[in-house]
Structure 1
Amino acid sequence: MTPSKLYLERLEKVKKTIALENDRPTTCYMGIATPAAHMGVTMAEFANNPDVNLDVSLGYINEINKITPVDCLNRALGGGKSNVGLAMLWLSKTQMPGRELPENSLWQVVEKKVMEDEDYDLVIEKGYDAFMEKMLPKVIDLKEI
Protein backbone atom coordinates (compact mmCIF):
# COMPACT_ATOMS: atom_id res chain seq x y z
CA MET A 1 0.00 0.00 0.00
CA THR A 2 1.38 3.38 -1.00
CA PRO A 3 0.93 6.18 1.55
CA SER A 4 -1.06 9.20 0.39
CA LYS A 5 0.65 12.43 -0.59
CA LEU A 6 -0.89 14.20 2.42
CA TYR A 7 0.37 11.49 4.78
CA LEU A 8 3.90 11.79 3.40
CA GLU A 9 3.79 15.60 3.70
CA ARG A 10 2.65 15.41 7.33
CA LEU A 11 5.19 12.71 8.14
CA GLU A 12 7.97 14.89 6.74
CA LYS A 13 6.64 17.82 8.80
CA VAL A 14 6.78 15.76 12.01
CA LYS A 15 10.29 14.50 11.19
CA LYS A 16 11.47 18.08 10.60
CA THR A 17 9.91 19.13 13.90
CA ILE A 18 11.77 16.37 15.75
CA ALA A 19 15.00 17.53 14.08
CA LEU A 20 14.16 21.16 15.03
CA GLU A 21 13.97 22.11 11.34
CA ASN A 22 10.27 23.03 11.17
CA ASP A 23 9.22 26.30 9.56
CA ARG A 24 6.09 26.76 11.69
CA PRO A 25 4.63 25.19 14.83
CA THR A 26 3.50 21.62 14.34
CA THR A 27 -0.02 20.95 15.55
CA CYS A 28 -0.95 17.54 16.84
CA TYR A 29 -4.55 16.93 17.87
CA MET A 30 -4.83 14.89 21.07
CA GLY A 31 -8.27 15.72 22.49
CA ILE A 32 -10.61 12.89 23.30
CA ALA A 33 -13.52 14.65 24.99
CA THR A 34 -13.52 18.16 23.52
CA PRO A 35 -15.41 17.44 20.27
CA ALA A 36 -18.72 16.65 22.00
CA ALA A 37 -19.20 20.03 23.69
CA HIS A 38 -17.90 22.01 20.72
CA MET A 39 -20.09 20.17 18.21
CA GLY A 40 -23.24 20.32 20.40
CA VAL A 41 -23.50 16.62 21.24
CA THR A 42 -24.07 15.28 24.75
CA MET A 43 -21.13 13.51 26.31
CA ALA A 44 -23.39 10.48 26.80
CA GLU A 45 -24.08 10.21 23.05
CA PHE A 46 -20.44 10.83 22.21
CA ALA A 47 -18.99 8.35 24.71
CA ASN A 48 -21.52 5.56 24.28
CA ASN A 49 -22.25 5.57 20.53
CA PRO A 50 -19.28 4.63 18.30
CA ASP A 51 -20.83 6.12 15.15
CA VAL A 52 -21.54 9.46 16.84
CA ASN A 53 -18.05 9.44 18.36
CA LEU A 54 -16.36 8.97 14.99
CA ASP A 55 -18.55 11.43 13.05
CA VAL A 56 -18.29 14.15 15.69
CA SER A 57 -14.54 13.66 16.12
CA LEU A 58 -13.86 13.87 12.39
CA GLY A 59 -16.12 16.91 12.04
CA TYR A 60 -14.30 18.63 14.88
CA ILE A 61 -10.84 17.82 13.53
CA ASN A 62 -11.83 19.04 10.06
CA GLU A 63 -13.14 22.26 11.60
CA ILE A 64 -9.83 22.83 13.40
CA ASN A 65 -7.95 22.00 10.20
CA LYS A 66 -9.72 24.90 8.44
CA ILE A 67 -8.32 27.29 11.06
CA THR A 68 -4.82 25.83 11.27
CA PRO A 69 -3.44 22.69 9.66
CA VAL A 70 -3.63 19.60 11.86
CA ASP A 71 -0.32 17.89 11.17
CA CYS A 72 -0.90 14.73 13.17
CA LEU A 73 -3.46 12.92 15.29
CA ASN A 74 -2.73 11.29 18.60
CA ARG A 75 -5.99 9.76 19.74
CA ALA A 76 -6.43 6.66 21.84
CA LEU A 77 -10.13 6.43 21.02
CA GLY A 78 -12.39 7.18 18.12
CA GLY A 79 -15.19 5.20 16.58
CA GLY A 80 -15.55 3.05 19.67
CA LYS A 81 -17.35 3.05 22.97
CA SER A 82 -15.23 5.11 25.32
CA ASN A 83 -15.72 2.81 28.30
CA VAL A 84 -14.25 -0.14 26.37
CA GLY A 85 -11.15 1.73 25.27
CA LEU A 86 -10.63 3.27 28.69
CA ALA A 87 -11.05 -0.06 30.49
CA MET A 88 -8.55 -1.74 28.19
CA LEU A 89 -6.12 1.17 28.38
CA TRP A 90 -6.19 1.81 32.12
CA LEU A 91 -7.48 -1.55 33.41
CA SER A 92 -9.92 0.36 35.60
CA LYS A 93 -13.69 0.52 35.91
CA THR A 94 -15.07 3.68 34.40
CA GLN A 95 -18.32 5.43 35.27
CA MET A 96 -19.93 6.76 32.12
CA PRO A 97 -22.09 9.79 31.25
CA GLY A 98 -25.70 8.82 30.70
CA ARG A 99 -25.26 5.69 32.82
CA GLU A 100 -23.76 6.19 36.27
CA LEU A 101 -23.21 9.92 35.66
CA PRO A 102 -25.31 12.82 34.27
CA GLU A 103 -25.58 13.21 30.46
CA ASN A 104 -22.88 15.86 30.09
CA SER A 105 -20.40 14.67 32.70
CA LEU A 106 -16.99 13.47 31.69
CA TRP A 107 -16.29 9.80 32.39
CA GLN A 108 -14.76 9.08 35.77
CA VAL A 109 -12.22 6.37 36.56
CA VAL A 110 -13.04 4.34 39.66
CA GLU A 111 -9.82 4.41 41.65
CA LYS A 112 -9.72 0.91 43.09
CA LYS A 113 -6.97 -1.67 43.17
CA VAL A 114 -7.72 -4.51 40.75
CA MET A 115 -4.24 -5.94 40.20
CA GLU A 116 -2.67 -8.15 42.86
CA ASP A 117 1.02 -8.85 43.47
CA GLU A 118 0.70 -12.38 42.07
CA ASP A 119 -0.53 -10.94 38.76
CA TYR A 120 3.07 -9.97 37.96
CA ASP A 121 3.95 -13.67 38.12
CA LEU A 122 1.00 -14.45 35.86
CA VAL A 123 2.39 -12.10 33.21
CA ILE A 124 5.86 -13.63 33.47
CA GLU A 125 4.67 -17.25 33.49
CA LYS A 126 1.69 -17.17 31.11
CA GLY A 127 2.00 -13.90 29.22
CA TYR A 128 0.02 -10.73 28.77
CA ASP A 129 -2.99 -12.44 27.15
CA ALA A 130 -3.55 -14.58 30.25
CA PHE A 131 -3.20 -11.49 32.41
CA MET A 132 -5.77 -9.57 30.33
CA GLU A 133 -8.13 -12.55 30.43
CA LYS A 134 -8.03 -12.33 34.23
CA MET A 135 -8.17 -8.53 34.50
CA LEU A 136 -10.78 -7.44 31.97
CA PRO A 137 -13.77 -9.09 33.71
CA LYS A 138 -12.81 -7.10 36.82
CA VAL A 139 -13.12 -3.76 35.02
CA ILE A 140 -15.77 -4.19 32.29
CA ASP A 141 -18.70 -6.38 31.34
CA LEU A 142 -17.18 -8.54 28.59
CA LYS A 143 -20.45 -8.33 26.59
CA GLU A 144 -19.57 -4.69 25.91
CA ILE A 145 -16.31 -5.52 24.15
Structure 2
Amino acid sequence: VLAIVISKLRGKRFNLPPGPLPVPIFGNWLQVGDDLNHRNLTDLAKKFGDIFLLRMGQRNLVVVSSPELAKEVLHTQGVEFGSRTRNVVFDIFTGKGQDMVFTVYGEHWRKMRRIMTVPFFTNKVVQQYRQGWENEVDEVVADVKKNPESAK
Protein backbone atom coordinates (compact mmCIF):
# COMPACT_ATOMS: atom_id res chain seq x y z
CA VAL A 1 0.00 0.00 0.00
CA LEU A 2 2.83 2.38 0.88
CA ALA A 3 4.46 1.79 -2.52
CA ILE A 4 1.20 2.63 -4.30
CA VAL A 5 0.78 5.84 -2.29
CA ILE A 6 4.39 6.86 -3.01
CA SER A 7 3.90 6.02 -6.68
CA LYS A 8 0.76 8.17 -6.86
CA LEU A 9 2.46 11.07 -5.10
CA ARG A 10 5.50 10.81 -7.35
CA GLY A 11 3.32 10.96 -10.47
CA LYS A 12 1.49 14.05 -9.21
CA ARG A 13 4.71 15.81 -8.30
CA PHE A 14 6.13 15.49 -11.79
CA ASN A 15 2.77 15.89 -13.59
CA LEU A 16 3.29 12.69 -15.58
CA PRO A 17 0.73 11.35 -18.08
CA PRO A 18 -1.70 8.62 -16.99
CA GLY A 19 -0.91 4.97 -17.45
CA PRO A 20 -1.47 1.52 -16.00
CA LEU A 21 -0.75 1.15 -12.29
CA PRO A 22 2.87 -0.03 -11.94
CA VAL A 23 4.03 -2.79 -9.62
CA PRO A 24 6.80 -1.76 -7.21
CA ILE A 25 10.30 -2.49 -8.59
CA PHE A 26 9.02 -4.03 -11.87
CA GLY A 27 6.82 -1.16 -12.98
CA ASN A 28 4.62 -2.27 -15.90
CA TRP A 29 6.95 -5.05 -17.11
CA LEU A 30 4.65 -7.73 -15.70
CA GLN A 31 1.64 -6.23 -17.53
CA VAL A 32 3.21 -5.68 -20.95
CA GLY A 33 6.19 -8.03 -20.82
CA ASP A 34 8.60 -7.77 -23.70
CA ASP A 35 5.77 -7.42 -26.19
CA LEU A 36 5.46 -3.68 -26.77
CA ASN A 37 3.94 -4.18 -30.21
CA HIS A 38 1.58 -1.72 -31.84
CA ARG A 39 -1.54 -3.68 -30.90
CA ASN A 40 -0.73 -3.68 -27.19
CA LEU A 41 0.15 0.00 -27.32
CA THR A 42 -3.07 0.76 -29.22
CA ASP A 43 -5.12 -1.00 -26.54
CA LEU A 44 -3.36 1.02 -23.83
CA ALA A 45 -3.94 4.25 -25.79
CA LYS A 46 -7.68 3.50 -25.96
CA LYS A 47 -7.70 3.20 -22.19
CA PHE A 48 -5.31 6.02 -21.19
CA GLY A 49 -5.33 8.46 -24.12
CA ASP A 50 -2.93 9.55 -26.86
CA ILE A 51 -0.09 10.14 -24.39
CA PHE A 52 0.46 7.63 -21.61
CA LEU A 53 3.18 6.47 -19.27
CA LEU A 54 4.68 3.03 -18.85
CA ARG A 55 7.15 2.40 -16.07
CA MET A 56 9.67 -0.16 -17.22
CA GLY A 57 11.45 -1.03 -14.01
CA GLN A 58 12.70 2.28 -12.70
CA ARG A 59 12.55 4.03 -16.09
CA ASN A 60 9.63 6.02 -17.39
CA LEU A 61 8.56 5.43 -20.97
CA VAL A 62 6.17 8.01 -22.39
CA VAL A 63 4.21 6.67 -25.35
CA VAL A 64 2.77 9.05 -27.95
CA SER A 65 0.16 7.33 -30.08
CA SER A 66 -1.34 9.88 -32.46
CA PRO A 67 0.29 11.07 -35.69
CA GLU A 68 -0.24 14.72 -34.78
CA LEU A 69 1.43 14.37 -31.39
CA ALA A 70 4.23 12.26 -32.85
CA LYS A 71 4.94 15.00 -35.38
CA GLU A 72 4.99 17.58 -32.57
CA VAL A 73 7.37 15.48 -30.48
CA LEU A 74 9.70 14.38 -33.28
CA HIS A 75 9.78 17.47 -35.50
CA THR A 76 8.88 20.51 -33.45
CA GLN A 77 10.39 19.32 -30.16
CA GLY A 78 13.00 16.96 -31.67
CA VAL A 79 15.96 18.46 -29.84
CA GLU A 80 14.22 17.99 -26.50
CA PHE A 81 13.18 14.39 -27.12
CA GLY A 82 15.76 13.20 -29.65
CA SER A 83 18.39 11.78 -27.31
CA ARG A 84 18.30 8.49 -25.48
CA THR A 85 19.17 8.13 -21.85
CA ARG A 86 22.60 6.72 -21.15
CA ASN A 87 23.74 4.30 -18.51
CA VAL A 88 26.93 2.40 -17.67
CA VAL A 89 26.09 -0.62 -19.84
CA PHE A 90 25.43 1.56 -22.91
CA ASP A 91 28.63 3.49 -22.27
CA ILE A 92 30.64 0.26 -22.19
CA PHE A 93 29.18 -1.10 -25.44
CA THR A 94 28.97 2.17 -27.36
CA GLY A 95 32.15 3.96 -26.37
CA LYS A 96 30.28 6.39 -24.12
CA GLY A 97 27.45 6.87 -26.58
CA GLN A 98 29.61 7.78 -29.55
CA ASP A 99 28.03 5.31 -31.97
CA MET A 100 25.14 6.28 -34.24
CA VAL A 101 22.31 4.72 -32.25
CA PHE A 102 23.02 6.20 -28.83
CA THR A 103 24.70 9.48 -29.71
CA VAL A 104 23.21 12.46 -27.91
CA TYR A 105 21.79 15.04 -30.30
CA GLY A 106 24.37 17.68 -31.14
CA GLU A 107 27.34 18.29 -33.42
CA HIS A 108 28.65 14.69 -33.17
CA TRP A 109 25.16 13.36 -34.00
CA ARG A 110 24.96 15.61 -37.08
CA LYS A 111 28.37 14.41 -38.29
CA MET A 112 27.41 10.78 -37.77
CA ARG A 113 24.13 11.30 -39.62
CA ARG A 114 25.94 12.83 -42.59
CA ILE A 115 28.41 9.95 -42.66
CA MET A 116 25.63 7.37 -42.51
CA THR A 117 23.11 8.87 -44.94
CA VAL A 118 25.29 10.06 -47.81
CA PRO A 119 26.52 6.61 -48.94
CA PHE A 120 23.08 5.01 -48.58
CA PHE A 121 20.99 7.51 -50.51
CA THR A 122 22.96 8.19 -53.67
CA ASN A 123 21.10 7.65 -56.96
CA LYS A 124 23.19 4.56 -57.67
CA VAL A 125 22.32 2.90 -54.36
CA VAL A 126 18.64 3.85 -54.57
CA GLN A 127 18.41 2.40 -58.10
CA GLN A 128 20.24 -0.73 -57.00
CA TYR A 129 17.78 -1.48 -54.18
CA ARG A 130 14.63 0.04 -55.67
CA GLN A 131 13.24 -3.20 -57.09
CA GLY A 132 13.68 -5.01 -53.78
CA TRP A 133 11.97 -2.22 -51.86
CA GLU A 134 9.08 -2.16 -54.33
CA ASN A 135 8.72 -5.96 -54.05
CA GLU A 136 8.54 -5.66 -50.26
CA VAL A 137 5.83 -3.00 -50.52
CA ASP A 138 3.87 -5.18 -52.96
CA GLU A 139 4.06 -8.12 -50.53
CA VAL A 140 2.83 -6.01 -47.61
CA VAL A 141 -0.09 -4.67 -49.68
CA ALA A 142 -0.97 -8.21 -50.81
CA ASP A 143 -0.86 -9.46 -47.20
CA VAL A 144 -3.15 -6.66 -46.06
CA LYS A 145 -5.58 -7.34 -48.91
CA LYS A 146 -5.58 -11.05 -48.06
CA ASN A 147 -6.15 -10.47 -44.34
CA PRO A 148 -7.33 -6.90 -43.61
CA GLU A 149 -7.93 -7.68 -39.91
CA SER A 150 -4.21 -8.25 -39.40
CA ALA A 151 -3.48 -4.65 -40.37
CA LYS A 152 -5.41 -3.18 -37.43
TM-score category, normalised to shorter length: under 0.3
TM-score, L = length of structure 2: 0.22
Q: TM-score, normalised by structure 1?
A: 0.23
Greater Rg by CA: 2
Considering fraction of residues, name the structure with more helix: 2
